[in-house]
Each structure stands twice: as structure tokens, then as C-alpha cells.
């Protein structure tokens, strides 16, 4: 009886698709206007890194050819230098970025604390 139940379950599941997050990620990239940006790889998160993260760094990403569409990203530490050197990304979260729905830029975003004041590149890249 158990074998039959498992066989039915497997047959039932065979027709289903289990989301792997790809469709959602593609929708987020498209909504943010980053779907054609070759520097957005699978390991890039479309938000600031969680506090205490040591293997990734928050950057303000300037998309090549579209500098008005800056977005805060969380990238692997090994990718930081390439982002900064190749298209002028900055360390830290963007102070002001367009919303991902295509609306107006939320100028002056941030609380005014040092965390939101923008990146400080004087110290160089943290590895």
C-alpha cells in the first residue's frame, strides 16, 4: 500500500513545476531595470547585505550605460574590485535610487545617519 501511495505521489508531482526562484529573480531584475546588465550575476542579491555578513559587501551599483539607475546590491567580496574599477560602483548602500516599479527617484532617501550617508572610499576596498 505504501509503495502505491509513493508511486501516485511521484506521478502527481511529475506534472508539477517546483519554482527555483529564477522566475521571481528575473521579474525583480526586470522591475529594477537591471535585466540587461551583464554584471548582475547569480550570486548578486538585489538589496543591501545583512548586518554582520563577512563574505559579501554592500555596494551602490551604477549600471553600465545607465548611470541614473543606481541600485544597492550585495555582492561577493571577490567581485567588489571589479564593480568599483569597471563601472564606478561605490562601497555602501545608495543614498538615493529609483524604485523598482519605474517611478520617480526617491531623492534624499536615508535616515541621515552615517550608515545612509553614502560610501566612503577613502579607506579603500575591504577584503
Domain-located, residue 31: no
Domain-located, residue 7: no
Q: ∠ at Cα 100 (97, 105), nearest 5°?
A: 35
Domain-located, residue 90: yes
3-class SS shares of the chain: helix, strand, coil, % to 5 = 30, 10, 55
Low-confidence ranges of the chain (pLDDT < 70): 1-20, 102-127
Supply the pLDDT for residue 42.
82
Supply the pLDDT for residue 94.
93
Supply the pLDDT for residue 74.
95
Supply the pLDDT for residue 49.
94
Supply the pLDDT for residue 45.
87
Supply the pLDDT for residue 87.
82
Task: Report the domain count for the chain.
Answer: 1
DSSP 102: S
Asked whether 70 and 97 are in contact (CB, 8 A), the reply is yes
Supply the pLDDT for residue 16.
42
Supply the pLDDT for residue 119.
40
Supply the pLDDT for residue 91.
95
Supply the pLDDT for residue 97.
83
Q: What is the pTM of this model?
A: 0.60
Domain extent for 73? 40-121
Domain-located, residue 56: yes
Domain-located, residue 6: no
Q: What is the pLDDT of residues 92-122, one digit of tens each?
A: 999 988 888 744 444 333 333 333 333 433 3
Domain-located, residue 66: yes
Q: ∠ at Cα 74 (69, 78), nearest 5°?
A: 115
Amino acid at each position: 500500500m505504501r509503495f502505491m501511495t509513493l508511486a501516485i505521489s511521484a506521478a502527481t508531482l511529475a506534472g508539477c513545476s517546483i519554482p527555483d526562484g529564477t522566475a521571481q529573480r528575473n521579474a525583480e531584475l526586470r522591475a529594477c531595470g537591471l535585466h540587461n546588465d551583464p554584471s548582475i550575476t547569480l550570486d548578486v542579491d538585489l538589496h543591501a547585505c545583512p548586518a554582520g555578513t563577512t563574505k559579501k559587501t554592500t555596494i551602490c551599483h551604477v549600471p553600465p550605460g545607465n548611470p541614473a539607475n543606481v541600485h544597492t546590491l550585495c555582492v561577493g567580496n571577490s567581485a567588489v574590485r571589479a564593480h568599483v574599477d569597471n563601472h564606478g560602483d561605490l562601497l555602501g548602500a545608495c543614498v538615493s535610487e529609483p524604485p523598482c516599479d519605474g517611478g520617480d527617484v526617491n531623492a534624499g532617501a536615508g535616515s541621515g545617519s552615517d550608515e545612509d550617508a553614502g560610501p566612503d572610499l577613502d579607506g579603500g576596498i575591504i577584503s
